Amino acid sequence: MKSTCKKAEFVRSVPSFKSLGLIATLLLSTIVSQLFAYELDWTEVDWLEGDEAVQQQTFYNVDGSTIDTSISLVISGSDSFGSNTTISNRNLRLGANYRDVNRSLNYIDVEIIFSSAVTNVSLSLNDIDKGGSGTRGYWEDIIENIRASNENTPVEIREANPGSQLIIDMESDAGDVLYRGSRSDQFTDQSRLYLAWEDPLDRLSFRYSGGENTYSNPSYQVVGMSGIKFEYSPVPEPGTMLAGGMGLLVILYSFIRTKLKNRNSISS
């Protein structure tokens, strides 16, 4: 009779598969929901250099994240990029060989598209400056139309931190903020614009334009886009999740059963 009671006590002590299933689900959810940091590092990828007015390139499985990232560059006000787009100072260099003095026609639209929504996205735009003189040597870098969205729903920017040499212009274009270079100051903290978003997004864009008096000067009309940092939680395939959950369930059940059996053996 004593042995029967011990056995009954042992069976009652072992959690049910339903309880273990809940534990396994919670543990698996915790693993899946964990965010990992990644970066599209320009020194780790191959950018197909060129001077065409429209350039587009997709980088697959960026930094092992399973995220594909497409970069699109479209130039207006010129038929080519000045000195080609290329990697310089760990930045993607954007330069236009402008031939028109009307700023509204002089710009490069940059669009970044992620294959799935990512969070905590950040990047820097560098070498935003101004300088030169005369009708053939003047240039002015302007960043405007900074936008982000997730499934076409706007995402608010968390931080736009301009260097001390940048001018924040909130009057030239109603409803938009323009960041203008104020002097020649290449690749320093003073000529940098740091941008960051916290909420999930799958698309962001900005416009790099020339000032009203900008003339053709590709040697100077250049800004740099840093690597793009983001966080993402890779989601395993459903079959992988199921197998992992079942395996975790078996391990938990075996572990608890063994522990309880040892405990009851000691008690007897």
Q: How far apart are CA 226 and CA 228, in angstroms?
A: 6
Contacts of 51 (CB under 8 A, 6+ apart): 80, 81, 82, 83, 84, 85, 97
Give the helix/strand (H/E) hosting 73. Answer: strand 69-76
With b for 16 or more beta-carbon neighbours within 10 A and e for fewer, the 92-107 pattern comes to: bbbbbbbeebebeebb
Question: pLDDT (tens digit, 0 to 9) for every residue of the chain, 268 residues total?
Answer: 455 555 444 445 555 555 555 655 555 555 555 789 999 999 898 887 766 667 889 999 999 999 999 999 888 765 555 544 667 778 988 876 555 545 445 788 999 999 999 999 999 999 998 877 665 556 788 999 999 999 999 999 999 999 999 999 999 888 899 999 988 777 889 999 999 999 999 999 999 987 766 665 445 578 899 999 999 987 654 554 455 556 656 666 666 667 666 666 666 5
